[in-house]
Amino acid sequence: MKFTWFIGIDVSKKTLDIAIRNKECILKTFKIENSVPVLKSFLKELKKEDIKLSNSLFCMEHTGIYCTPMMILAEKLKLNLWLENATQIKLSIGMQRGKNDQIDATRIAEYASRLQIR
**Domains of the chain (ranges, CATH numbers):** 5-114 (3.30.420.40)
What predicted TM-score, i.e. pTM, was given to this entire model?
0.86
pLDDT at 113 over 80: yes
pLDDT at 118 over 50: no
CA-to-CA distance for 23 and 115, rounded, in angstroms?
A: 12
Mean pLDDT of the chain: 88
Specify the amino acid at residue 109.
A
pLDDT at 17 over 90: yes
CA-to-CA distance for 115 and 94, rounded, in angstroms?
A: 15
CA-to-CA distance for 70 and 104, rounded, in angstroms?
A: 17
β-strand partners of 19: 8, 29
Mean pLDDT of the 90-115 span: 78
Mean pLDDT of the 80-96 span: 78
